[in-house]
Amino acid sequence: MTKEKHSPGKAAEKEPTARTTKEKKRGQEKKRKSNSLEHDEAKKNKVKKEEDEYEDKKEESEKKAKQAEEEADKWKWWEEGKHAENGQKWRSLEHKGPLFPPEYEPLPSSVSFLYNGTPVILRPATEEVATFYAKMLDHEFTTKEVFQNNFFTDWKEVMTETERQLISDLSQCDFSNIHKYFVEKTEEKRNMTKEEKQVLKEEANKLTEEYGYCLLDGHREKIGNFRVEPPGLFRGRGEHPKMGKLKKRVQPEDVIINCSKDVKIPEPPPGHRWKKVQHDNTVTWLASWVENIHGHIKYIMLNPSSKLKGEKDWQKYETARKLKLSVDSIRSEYQSAWTSCEMKQRQYGVALYFIDKLALRAGNEKDDDTADTVGCCSLRVEHINLHRHLDSLDYVVEFDFLGKDSIRYYNKVPVEKQVYKNLKLFMNSKNPDDDLFDRISTTYLNKKLNEAMPGLTAKVFRTFNASTTLQEQLNQLTTDDMTLPEKILAYNRANRAVAILCNHQRAAPKTFEKSMQLLQEKIKKKQEEVEKAKKELKQAKKEHKQLPSEVSKKLVQKMEKTVKRLLEQLKKLQLLETDRNENKVIALGTSKLNYLDPRISVACKKGGVETGFPL
């Protein structure tokens, strides 16, 4: 029998060579190592995630424990039934004084200021003011002529004679290197590790513990603004004539300290002394100084949750509550004034009508060097237009003026016929820049109100109408069967109605679009989770129907709970999206802190709604 011969090619197909086997083993080994590395990396990531979650839970637990401790130690002064008498606000007051900003740290030698293309070395005081301007290069303020002129004028006052002779034209100044340096520093801070940020947070907490609290009548109370504002350039609101001026560094020699006689006087920073130390228990401030832009006095005061602020607010809201009992008679009185023989009385009646109906600020006399903002009593003819709608027989007043903080107030309001006729009378033979209410002032208006009810001022009307609006809105918007997210949305909507009434507007936050995009991505992801869970539930039900068992029944119940939980989470996110959209240009904080009776918000909080009110 003849032996079958095998060709080398066929042999290669059937039996791998030693080289091929070696390469195969090498590949398997490489794949095994890769899988092992991936496994190790996944394991490390899992461990790190667990550690981070543990730290977050620990931090949250510590935070809650601290809050509980603070709640237990909180001074419930309102339960004592004692309020400030004979003008005395406290018996003893001890504190550490204000916390001053750090001294200026000169720029590195590699970061240069250029004038006419040439590097110029500035002395530290001059360089510091240059950094204020450089930091704002990407802001529209530095494009405004008033800002530029005010900055350059104040900057030259800080310069030495030599620097003034050299730097004579702002357009030749190049701050771009300094601007770039601070942008990089900001980016570095943003990219800090969690551990590095924690170190900074702990340092800030230590300073807060040291300077952020005082002892008032033996009780530990939180201070509202214990940090002295650092130097910089004044911005102002709107087209403020002083924008760009230098806010000078406040020194201890500018500061008056107020504390008890029998306590340790706060120590000023080394090498400094206080302007004055006094012991006046008829005032509520801890320290004061005069700022250089307007010559106004700045104060360090206690936190809104403190006894001193709480008592003042309590009196304010009690006066507003009393107004509820007298408001009908006061309204009848000012309406009667619309037809008075005396022009002054007519103007008083119409002005108070707008303060009551629209929650307008009364408007105070102010200096010429402030922005052109007005209130009710300081309205000019140019700020209103009168419209008669013949089809609906409505009498309409169109308001358009800059209110507090240069926020535009624009509103078209239907008014009583007699109010309309009086406004035409007030505007008769006047120029656009003449006062609309030229016979009255805020002082006169408040005096008349105090005669009608002790303690009543135009501002009390604003507080009264704000709190009344909140309560009415809550009554309309809430029902007993609402979920917690629905209650929160309802509360914010009620608060928003107040903010609109009081014209508490704001510019949309810079991060608004990005945060909304992230929220919408969360909603989309949650919707996908819901759809997936629903499909799995449907499949589980189908399998249970075909082969009923206790196990499949439990699986269906478990999946039903999952779908329900995911739907609740989705609804919560959707309500949050609605809330954020509606709050885009409305500031809720001002009315909540200053105009709404906290007892209404506390009642909401007891119902499970987090109002954000500092109890």
Domains in the chain: boundaries: 308-384+418-456, 470-606
Taking alpha carbons only, the member of 292, 232, 243, 294 closest to residue 140 is 243
- Residue 2 predicted with pLDDT over 60: no
Q: Per-residue confidence at 10, pLDDT binned at 50, 70, 90?
A: very low
Residue 182 vs residues 132, 185, 187, 234, 244: alpha-carbon distances, Å: 10, 5, 9, 19, 19
For residue 597, the model assigns a pLDDT of 83
Q: Which two tokens stand for residue 552?
A: 């499949």
For residue 244, the model assigns a pLDDT of 95
**CA 600 centroid distance within chain:** 21
**Mean pLDDT throughout 449-461?**
92
Which CATH code, of 1.10.132.10, 1.10.645.10, 3.90.1150.10, 3.30.420.40, is assigned to 470-606?
1.10.132.10
Q: What are the pLDDT digits (tens) for 513-550?
A: 888 999 999 999 999 999 999 999 999 999 888 888 88
Which stretch of 55-59, 333-337, 562-566 has the lowest confidence by average pLDDT?
Answer: 55-59
For residue 239, the model assigns a pLDDT of 82
Q: Per-residue confidence at 585, pLDDT binned at 50, 70, 90?
A: confident
- As a whole number of Å, the end-to-end CA separation of the chain is 107
- Taking the C-alpha atoms of residue 265 and residue 211, their distance in angstroms, rounded to an integer, is 13
| Amino acid, res. 387 | H
**Mean pLDDT throughout 490-502?**
88
Strand 118-120 with 394-402, pairing: unpaired
- Residue 370 predicted with pLDDT over 90: no
Look at 253 and 497; give whichever has higher pLDDT.
253
For residue 66, the model assigns a pLDDT of 65
**CA 249 centroid distance within chain:** 25
**CA 160 centroid distance within chain:** 40
For residue 7, the model assigns a pLDDT of 45
Question: Is 130 within 8 Å of 167 (Cβ atoms)?
Answer: no
Class of domain 308-384+418-456: alpha beta
- Residue 610 predicted with pLDDT over 80: no
Q: If DSSP codes are grouped into helix, strand and coil, which group holds residue 378?
A: coil
Sheet architecture: strand order including 394-402: 384-389, 394-402, 408-415
491 in catalytic set:
no
Question: Is 577 within 8 Å of 519 (Cβ atoms)?
Answer: yes
- Residue 130 predicted with pLDDT over 80: yes
Q: Choose the catalytic residue: 181, 334, 395, 595.
A: 595
Which stretch of 67-76, 244-253, 419-428, 499-508 has the lowest confidence by average pLDDT?
Answer: 67-76
**Mean pLDDT throughout 357-378?**
78
For residue 489, the model assigns a pLDDT of 86
Mean pLDDT of the chain: 86
- Residue 9 predicted with pLDDT over 80: no
User: Helix 442-452 crosses helix 458-477 at what angle (to 10 degrees)?
Assistant: 70
Question: Is 108 within 8 Å of 277 (Cβ atoms)?
Answer: no
Which stretch of 26-30, 199-203, 439-443 has the lowest confidence by average pLDDT?
Answer: 26-30
Look at 603 and 277; give whichever has higher pLDDT.
277
Residues across the chain: 615
- Taking the C-alpha atoms of residue 29 and residue 33, their distance in angstroms, rounded to an integer, is 6
- Taking the C-alpha atoms of residue 116 and residue 130, their distance in angstroms, rounded to an integer, is 15
Torsion of CA 118, 122, 128, 129, to 10 degrees: -70
- Residue 416 predicted with pLDDT over 90: yes
Which stretch of 353-367, 433-447, 456-470, 563-577 has the lowest confidence by average pLDDT?
Answer: 353-367
For residue 3, the model assigns a pLDDT of 45
Q: Dmax over Cα atoms in the chain, in whole Å? A: 143
Q: Of 129-133, 186-190, 536-540, 587-591, where does the model show the most confidence? A: 129-133
Q: Which two tokens stand for residue 373?
A: 């903002």
